[in-house]
Amino acid sequence: MMVISTPVGTPFAPPPAWSRMLLGTVLIFAGVFVLGDVMVATLISAIFIGIVAIIAGAFEIIYAFWTKGWGRFLWQIFLGILYVAFGLTLVSEPVSGALTLTFILGLLLSYPDRSAYSSRCVIGASVVGPCFFPAC
Contact by Cβ (8 Å): 6, 12? yes
pTM of the model: 0.64
Percentage of residues of the chain with pLDDT beyond 90: 44
Q: pLDDT grade, residue 105 (50/70/90)?
A: confident
Alpha carbon distance 8, 130 (integer Å): 27
Task: Reply yes or no on whether the pLDDT at 123 is more than 60.
Answer: no
Q: Which of 41, 54, 57, 53 is nearest to 98 (CA)?
A: 41
Task: Reply yes or no on whether the pLDDT at 102 is more than 80.
Answer: yes
Per residue in 44-101, pLDDT tens? Answer: 999 999 999 999 999 999 999 888 887 788 889 999 999 999 999 999 999 999 998 8
